[in-house]
Structure 1
């Protein structure tokens, strides 16, 4: 006799599990239907995960960038810079809402552009290195 006590909740698949299952579908001669049945998931869910991998939405944590690209524009000539520059009290921050970029103008004529979602700790380290 089977006693049904209630509705089961949704399963939560971790990103590594999703990537492992998607990788199974990419082996030669493997049917998506068979992979879906083996893991007891709907084929449509598997196709969704495959699309997310293709679009870069679903990816391993090691594939994610650790630093944002930084571009320096028009550094001031070295002879005009003081030998011991003091960092400005407040760097000029200009945010461009349409592009999501923040441009930081340092007191010594250097500019740094970063994404609005930049890691604050990483940005502090970059700015400290530029002040040296």
Structure 2
């Protein structure tokens, strides 16, 4: 005669209602709670608790159909503020000198400064 094994304990394929899931999630992710202990107390695997949380977050962040179907644009305008000239990061004039030396003149330099630098290079 063959041997029969009887498994006792809760059935592994449990069905959880939405209210039970929310109750377990709120308990597991409350401040100071340990997800593993809460899952063990309710006889649920910790991975299932995290799966429920991920699905709940995905469901709450999905845009509605009306939001997806109506794109909107915002008008952008750039106006220079008076008296705030932004210096350029690229030089306007680069003068290569002997022995690999280089003089760079940026657009924010005053005309008197540029004239003096060019006179000195003669």
Q: Same fold per TM (> 0.5)?
A: no
Higher share of residues assigned helix? 2
**Which TM-score applies when normalising by structure 2?**
0.40
Larger Rg, first or second structure (1 or 2): 2
Higher strand proportion:
1
Q: TM-score when scaled to structure 1?
A: 0.38
Q: Which has the higher contact order (CA 8 A, sep 6+)?
A: 1
